[in-house]
Structure formats: C-alpha cells, structure tokens
Structure 1
C-alpha cells in the first residue's frame, strides 16, 4: 500500500539517498551526479512547498514535492516526483501518483500541473500516460521545461 509521510529535518538523509540514487537525472537537472545536503535541505525543507516521502508499506521508495499554489500561475504544481533508482520499473511511480491524485481530489484540487525537462522524454511519456497534456515549453536555468497539466 502506498502512503505519504512528511519529510523532516531528521529524515533528510533518506531524501539524499533517494535523490542521489538517480545520477542520470541529477546530471540532466543540475549538471552533476550528486546533490549536496544543503541544496536538498533548501529544496525540501521550505515553507513554499509540502514535501513527502512515498512509501510502499514501510519502505521509502521516493519523494514528492508539492506546491499548493504556484505564484506564477495560481495553480497547484508537483515540483519533484522521484523514485529511488532501485525501485524503478515496479510501478511504484504510477501507484504513488494515483494515490497522490486521490489525496488531492479529497482536498478539492481540480487541476494539477508539473514540469518535465525537455531532455527527459521518458518522464514526459510517464506523465502523458497518466493523462497529463503539454501546454507550453519554457526556459528554466540552463534547461527547457515541458509544462504539463491535467484536470483531476
């Protein structure tokens, strides 16, 4: 069963393990294989987003970072959705997203957006299979991001 557990300062070492298990993604996003503790702390321990572990029963399989209202467009956004590399290809990503979508529906959310790096076609396909559609491409730092949205 998939569940969500809030990330805390005391559990940041687990975040680091999950994020840094995905070296190829880290290179795409940041140009380096690993992300440091300070960088991850700023991203996952802030007041602008809600950050959760994705758990399969008692196992930490991923992280999700969610912004209830993006100030750029006033819509809710998934900022990060990362499954530990050891758990790729076991459908945890799909199960986790569907469970998170159910959670958002219960909270009254009707539209959800996210961004996918243009150099990550596998991720774009993942989200499109879950019903997200492309509506814009925008620059982000040294990357291009495909903006996807879905009515839930």
Structure 2
C-alpha cells in the first residue's frame, strides 16, 4: 500500500533509513547522515513524500516534486526499496504503482537523477523507459545523470 508520509511515520521512516547501508554507501554517507538528510527532505514543503507499507512495516519510500520550477516536469527525487528485498521484483511492482497513482495523473514527462556509479539503478530506470538526458549537479553538489521519460497519451 502506498500512502502519504505523515509526522507520525517519522520513527518508522528513521528505522527504515538506518537499514539502507548500500544506498548510504553509494551516496558516500554514513547511515546516520543518510537518515538525517532524507528525514529532513521528507518533512520539507513542496514535495509529495510517500511510504510503501507491507502491513505496518515500511518496505520502500519515494519523494516526488510534481512540477519542477525550471523545466515543469515531475521529478522523482528519491526511490528506495528495502535492501533485503532487492532482486525480488518488488521494486518494479512498487514503481509501476507509483507511476500509475502518483505520477501519470499530474505529468507526462518525468525526470530523476542517478548516481553515475550506480549501474544497477541505471539498468532499472532504463528498463522502465527512462533515457539519459544530461549530466547535472544536485542542489547538494552531487554529480548525477539526469534520466527522462516522456509518456505519449492517446488523443
């Protein structure tokens, strides 16, 4: 089940993030730094922060910016699936739900940034229709490949 994040979810979100060692390492952060940065991002105004739950346990999170102030597209700022569930197909299922319920109703063009050395993520996003657009630097100074997906809606 996907639902919007609320302040009461903070302890569960913090616990979830503390177990994402691979993602923290890819970001060259300790899990504590990774947790603190992403909890702060989830509680900022202007984004749609979502949690994916299996019963009461968070199994994935996503953070969306519905309309980027510069390019007008929807940006997927974060999509993290519980490490123990990697390779199970769950990420694919959850992403399809996310796109269907929270992305397609708002935009036809999506963007996201992927760390250049995160080859597994690059393959995942390309399988989902994203193509390389350009290199960029995030507002936090991290170099990323910007990937873009454009939907064609029947008229």
TM-score range, shorter chain: 0.7 to 0.9
Displacement of 1:142 after TM fit?
A: 5.0
Contact preservation (8 Å) 2:132, 2:148: yes
Which residue of the other structure, out of 90, 93, 96, is the alignment partner of 1:95? 93
Residues 56 and 5 from structure 1, CA distance in 2 versus in 1: closer, same or farther, beyond 3 angstroms?
Answer: same
Q: TM-score, normalised by structure 2?
A: 0.85
Alignment of 1:3-152 (within 5 A): 3-35=1-33, 38-56=36-54, 59-103=57-101, 104-105=103-104, 107-140=105-138, 141=140, 143-152=142-151
Q: Unaligned 5+ residue runs, structure 2? A: none
Q: TM-score, normalised by structure 1?
A: 0.87
Displacement of 1:111 after TM fit?
A: 1.0
Displacement of 1:26 after TM fit?
A: 0.9
**Moved runs in structure 1, 4+ residues, more than 6 A?**
none
Contact preservation (8 Å) 1:18, 1:82: no
Displacement of 1:61 after TM fit?
A: 1.0
State how many pairs are aligned: 149
SS in 1 for 2:32: coil
Q: Distance in 2 between matches of 1:40 and 1:150?
A: 24
Q: Distance in 1 between matches of 2:35 and 2:24?
A: 14
Q: Distance in 1 between matches of 2:150 and 2:6?
A: 30
Displacement of 1:31 after TM fit?
A: 2.6
Displacement of 1:69 after TM fit?
A: 1.0
Q: Unaligned 5+ residue runs, structure 1? A: none
**Structure of greater relative contact order (alpha carbons < 8 Å, 6+ residues apart):** 1
Displacement of 1:72 after TM fit?
A: 3.0
